[in-house]
Amino acid sequence: MDSDDESFEEHDSGNVSSGDDDFAMDVDINNPRDRGQETEEYPYDVLTTDEIVQHMVDCIKDVNTVVEIPATITRILLNYFKWDKEKLMERYYDGDQDKLFKDAHVVNPFRKPSLALKPKIKKSRTEDCEICYSTFPPSMMTGLECGHRFCTQCWQEYLTTKIVEEGLGQSIACAAHGCDILVDDVTVMRLVQDSRVRLKYQHLITNSFVECNRLLRWCPSADCTYAIKVQYVDPRPVICKCNHVFCFECGENWHDPVQCRLLKKWIKKCDDDSETSNWIAANTKECPKCNVTIEKDGGCNHMVCKNQNCKHDFCWVCLGSWEPHGSSWYNCNRYDEDEARAARDAQERLRSTLARYLHYYNRYINHMQSLKFEHKLYAAVKEKMEEMQQHNMSWIEVQFLKKAVDILCQCRQTLMCTYVFAYYLKRNNQSLIFEENQKDLESATETLSEYLERDITSENLADIKQKVQDKYRYCEKRRKVLLDHVHEGYEKDWWEYTN
């Protein structure tokens, strides 16, 4: 291997891989292995941080077997092409190489350095550092292929600032003003002496490699340091060694049956201030004269605009001028006029839109919150399982409780996502079938949840066990029916969506 790669083989990657969790009650929500065929069709590997670094070194070696350039330059070029080896090779052989190196911010290794780039050594055998303006012997000066040389102390301070304070790894440019040539990792590791800064840099390089590479994705679970490597990008579920299940394409928790683009749109809608605007639109009105937004805070419908430049008197009900109303708004003589009717219709449409959004949002949030409570249910179930084993039941015989909670969590996750799917779905005959499947699964899920929250005694054990087993099997079946119906709709273009 080239010596350029030693900086990554001989040092820690900057991350610590988390070990396997020994707790047997981990939640495995919406486990895609329940649909084994789908998982088999989508091969992937779970990598530790050391394996990620080795994968990066292997990618560099693969390119260097064909392109004979320094590994440090290969690394920068691969990063520029987001670690797509095919794109790099195509551009390297079919395009303008000078432009390629320029675009990637590296010096063309096949061009001899000009005289202007050679060190400016005085007769006294010293050089001037253009950052601190001190004079040093050539041995204390260093630089890049661009020819800009500075003292090692200035380089160390510059690189430390870029790494620690600015969080830069692959994109640290030369310290010279206006020079965009990138500093390679071998130079960084040679100049930086502080072990903490070196570790931080290695972490940034590793993180950059994963985030730039479309075939790699960090596990989004908190404190997990594993990454998933796939052969091609697809909206499929992957399972990390920490047991977290997520969609590789978008990185969100596995969200079958809703598609990535709709889920992204939904999350943005929920987080966006647009819904605050919807509430304002549904619960306030604008002054008919100056358009200032007004909220009604009393019973009287005679409104006076608070805008000092307006002070318009109008009726809250019909938005018409208050003057013709006389003393009784109940006999509002402009109630049926076109302009007032249009204003009221617009208000009703906004309220209807908000009501529809809240209908789906509240049910989405309800299942999300229930899912969190179901996580706590694992601890309670573990205690019940231990207690039941003390009543002459084997470990295998009590596993039905864990199986039931697994299926309950899967159903909650699926139901939560069905409300996102339903919100954007236009009504047709197939959507009515979907809603019936959703209703059936939701009802069965709530019943299963009730069974699991009951106290289990030696007297009712047999009855509860039978009910729980029957219900979780039914939930499992109804969940499969719902998902299969939605997937069939994707294949046959049944589904149409609202804007």
Q: Give the pair of three-digit tokens for residue 56.
A: 């990066």
Q: Are 271 and 430 in contact (CB under 8 A)?
A: no
- What value does the CA radius of gyration of the chain take, rounded to a whole number of Å? 33
pLDDT tens digits for 217-261?
999 998 899 999 999 999 999 999 998 999 999 999 999 999 999
What does the angle CA 422 – CA 424 – CA 428 come to, to the nearest 5 degrees? 70
The pLDDT value given to residue 183: 94
The pLDDT value given to residue 329: 47
Across the strands, what pairs with 135?
128
The pLDDT value given to residue 277: 60
More confident residue, 81 or 116: 81
Q: Which of 247, 300, 310, 417 is catalytic?
A: 300
The pLDDT value given to residue 76: 93
Q: What is the dihedral of CA 324, 328, 334, 336, to 10 degrees?
A: -170
Q: Which helix (H) or strand (E) holds 175?
A: none
The pLDDT value given to residue 279: 66
CATH number of 352-492: 1.20.120.1750
CA 356 to chain centre: 26
Sign (positive or negative) of CA dihedral 309, 311, 316, 321:
negative
Q: Which residues contact 262 (CB under 8 A, 6 or more apart)?
A: 420, 421, 424, 497
The pLDDT value given to residue 274: 56
Name the residue among 451, 440, 445 with its Cα closest to residue 410. 445
CA distances, 121 to each of 117, 136, 264, 324 (Å): 12, 10, 59, 94
Angle, helix 338-389 to helix 399-424, in steps of 10 degrees: 170
The pLDDT value given to residue 330: 47
Query: What is the DSSP code string of 121-167?
Result: --TTS-EE-TTT--EE-GGGEEE-TT--EEEHHHHHHHHHIIIIIS-
Q: Is 269 exposed, middle or buried (0-12, 13-18, 19+ CB in 10 A)?
A: middle
CATH number of 42-110+125-254: 3.30.40.10
More confident residue, 13 or 365: 365
Task: List, by residue range, all CATH 1.20.120.1750 domains of the chain.
Answer: 352-492
**Alpha-helix residue ranges (DSSP H) falling in 254-327:** 260-271, 274-283
pLDDT tens digits for 28-40?
444 544 443 344 5
The pLDDT value given to residue 470: 94
The pLDDT value given to residue 387: 73
Which 8-state DSSP code applies to residue 247?
E
Q: Is the pLDDT of residue 109 over 80?
A: yes
Which 8-state DSSP code applies to residue 182?
B
Question: 54: pLDDT confidence band, cut at 50, 70 and 90?
Answer: very high
More confident residue, 382 or 336: 382
pLDDT tens digits for 137-152?
988 999 998 889 999 9
**Helix (H/G/I), strand (E/B), else coil: 253:** strand
Question: 122: pLDDT confidence band, cut at 50, 70 and 90?
Answer: low
**Distance of alpha carbon 211 from alpha carbon 208, whole angstroms:** 5
Task: List, by residue range, all CATH 3.30.40.10 domains of the chain.
Answer: 42-110+125-254
Q: Are 482 and 418 in contact (CB under 8 A)?
A: yes
Q: What φ, ψ does residue 298 adopt, rounded to 5°? A: -150, 180
The long-range contacts involving 467-474, CB below 8 angstroms and separated by at least 24 positions, are: 468/400, 468/401, 468/404, 469/400, 469/404, 471/404, 471/444, 471/447, 472/400, 472/403, 472/404, 472/407, 472/408, 472/448, 474/444
Block residue for tokens 């509240």: 362
Q: Are 185 and 205 in contact (CB under 8 A)?
A: yes
Q: Is the pTM of this model over 0.85?
A: no
Verify whether residue 174 is a known catalytic residue: no
Share the mean pLDDT of the chain: 82
More confident residue, 291 or 22: 291
Q: Give the pair of three-digit tokens for residue 281.
A: 């639109």
Q: Is the pLDDT of residue 216 over 70?
A: yes
Question: 2: pLDDT confidence band, cut at 50, 70 and 90?
Answer: very low
The pLDDT value given to residue 181: 94
The long-range contacts involving 195-203, CB below 8 angstroms and separated by at least 24 positions, are: 197/159, 197/160, 197/163, 197/164, 198/11, 199/11, 199/12, 199/14, 200/14, 200/163, 200/164, 201/14, 201/163, 201/169, 202/8, 202/11, 202/12, 202/13, 202/14, 203/13, 203/14, 203/15
Q: Is the pLDDT of residue 19 over 70?
A: no
More confident residue, 427 or 461: 427
Q: Is the pLDDT of residue 13 over 60?
A: no
